[in-house]
Amino acid sequence: MKDNIQELASCFERNLIFVHGKGGVGKTTLSKAVAISLAQKNLKTLWITIADPTCSNEAPALLDAQRWPQLWHLNCDFDQAFEQYAAMKIKVAKLTQLFLQNKLMRYLAKAAPGIQELVILGKIWFERTNFDRVVVDMPSTGYGLAMFQSAKNFSNLFRSGPLHRDTESMLESFNNPKNVGHIIVSLPEETPLRESLELNRFLLDLFPNNAAFFLANRLFPDCSELGSTRSPPLVSSTPSDWKSPLADSVDDYIHKRFLLEKYNLRIWNQAEISYGQIPFTSSVKETVSDSLAQFLLGRVLP
């Protein structure tokens, strides 16, 4: 199937962009690249990670005014989001402080099923009003889905009041393709490709009016596109027909890797999924996110 990376242009025009996928497919790197590319188009952009301990020291770099003056980073966690939500709803500083200092309330807030996911999702939803673009590095598939499901559950549980109104507004926003985009990322491997189809079915069940965009990440190139004078070895396009999965040379490895990924992508092709292709990127002078941002600027945001 042809590369439909240009279709992302319409997604990048939306205020809030969720980047979904199985753990390890490159969501963090790719979502950061999306945020960098949007910031370089002079859009005030917030990149959100969710309770990620590895991102705790990244904020100073992302706030470098010389590199990305329009880019901010938020590593969103429950405690901070809960305090801000309580302050918005109570609106009286002393009462808010008394509420937050109550040990029983703090315990119930953390113990109630789904409340942490809902509060973090609410924080993300609120921040969209403060930026031109908000790009969210969602957790791995299961936890990411639990966040959206928590909003639906609380909307059904509370039939009136501020919590019901907020969850209904959130769900309505996430279903609106004019304002919110969903991107599903996968490596060209069988397990994440199949899991991405399950993820897509869940998202469509929740947000039937807002179809997700698909990206196949870290694709190896075709040997014929590398400019090598050596012809790639003749190997069947079906991996099960290979005499050995082991490579005899670097060229053989690249060729077999390319054919295997192409074979695995039949899973999306057979499901008639339209997807963009992100090439395998390795960089010495700059980070992978920087390189991918330049790729997106050239292909999606010229």
Question: Is 246 among the domain residues?
Answer: no
Residue 113 has pLDDT above 60, yes or no: no
pLDDT score recorded for residue 96? 47
Question: Is 17 among the domain residues?
Answer: yes
Q: What is the pLDDT of residues 203-239, one digit of tens each?
A: 999 999 999 999 999 999 887 665 555 555 667 777 7
Question: Is 106 among the domain residues?
Answer: no
- Burial classification of residue 218, based on how many CB atoms lie within 10 Å of its CB (0-12 exposed, 13-18 middle, 19 or more buried): buried
Question: Is 88 among the domain residues?
Answer: no
What contacts 127, CB < 8 A, 6 or more positions away?
46, 48, 74, 134
Question: Is 90 among the domain residues?
Answer: no
Question: Is 154 among the domain residues?
Answer: yes
pLDDT score recorded for residue 77? 82
The count of domains in the chain is 1
Which CATH number covers residue 152?
3.40.50.300
Residue 195 has pLDDT above 50, yes or no: yes
> What integer is the mean pLDDT of 13-38?
95
Question: Is 265 among the domain residues?
Answer: no
Question: Is 254 among the domain residues?
Answer: no
Which helix (DSSP H) or strand (DSSP E) does residue 215 occupy? Answer: strand 213-219
- Sequence letter at residue 296: L
Domain region containing 19: 5-80+114-225+274-299
Q: What is the pLDDT of residues 39-93, one digit of tens each?
A: 999 999 999 998 765 555 444 445 566 688 899 998 888 777 666 666 665 555 5
> What integer is the mean pLDDT of 157-184?
88
